[in-house]
Amino acid sequence: MSTINFARKEISFKIVYYGPAMSGKTTNLRYIYSSIPQKVKGEFTSIATETERTLFFDFLPLELGVIKGFTVRLSLYTVPGQNIYKLTRKSVLRACDGIVFVADSQLSKKEENIMNFYDMVENLNDFGESLESIPLVMQYNKRDLNPIIPIRELQEALNNENQFEYYEAIAMLGLGVMESMKAITRLVISRI
Ligand SMILES: Nc1nc2c(ncn2[C@@H]2O[C@H](COP(=O)(O)OP(=O)(O)O)[C@@H](O)[C@H]2O)c(=O)[nH]1
Ligand SMILES: [Mg+2]
């Protein structure tokens, strides 16, 4: 749910990078962070306790300008994908406005992607949310590796009805990263 700060004339959106462990979520965030001018971004923050870790930063996407008199602020979040962090994964989804699902294209990760996706859907449902109410962009990452799952098969597994925009990515090289971020931003903003 977006947050409006009337004093600062600012509207904030929370975007969560979700997906299995090691799929490239942090790599996405680091690439985006490094591409943004210093003066429009906050600190890259890691909240770590003994058992959990959340990463986030926020910034003002200047190219969006002012929308209905409000400056847009985006907060990008990611969470650990390992099973033991199930609770953190759930809590990070609270009040989110949009999701980038970062899938790992490696052949060996097919089941893990699917399980993680449905775990996310379940978590959303627990908050009374769903992918009808929250926009999602699919990112098929690690397209540089071999062997990988063909796009058609990933689509069948994760985007069967083609309800989500999808992007192929090599996050390590920054390929597909800004495209995915801009796509989710556009979808999130179109909801207001
Ligand atoms: N080959 C390859 N490796 C990647 C790519 N994106 C991320 N990685 C690597 O995958 C590992 C896990 O990435 P990370 O962003 O930490 O995953 P996270 O657990 O989802 O946050 C790191 O060693 C990254 O350098 C990619 O597109 N191709
Ligand atoms: Mg990470």
Residue 69, token pair as written in the block: 């008199």
Task: Give residues whose Cβ lies within 5 Å of ion ligand 2.
Answer: 26
Nearest to 152 by CA among 142, 166, 172: 166
CATH code for the part of the protein at 3-190? 3.40.50.300
Which ligand 1 atom is the nearest neighbour of the CA of 20?
A: 20
pLDDT tens, residue order, the chain (192 aa): 789 999 999 999 999 999 999 999 999 999 999 999 999 999 999 887 665 678 999 999 988 989 889 999 999 999 876 766 777 778 889 999 999 999 999 999 999 999 999 999 999 999 999 999 999 999 999 999 999 999 999 999 999 999 999 999 999 999 999 999 999 999 999 988
Distance in Å, CA 17 to ligand 2 centroid: 9
Distance CA 120, CA 114 (A): 10
User: What CA–CA distance (Å, rounded) separates 110 from 130?
Assistant: 23
**Domain coordinates of the chain in residue numbers?**
3-190
* pTM metric for this prediction: 0.96
Take residue 129 and report the two structure tokens written for it.
């949310």
Give me ligand 1 centre to Cα 84, in Å: 20
Q: How remote is the CA of residue 69 from the centroid of ligand 2, in Å? A: 35
User: Strand (E) positions, 7-89?
Assistant: 10-18, 45-48, 53-59, 66-67, 70-78
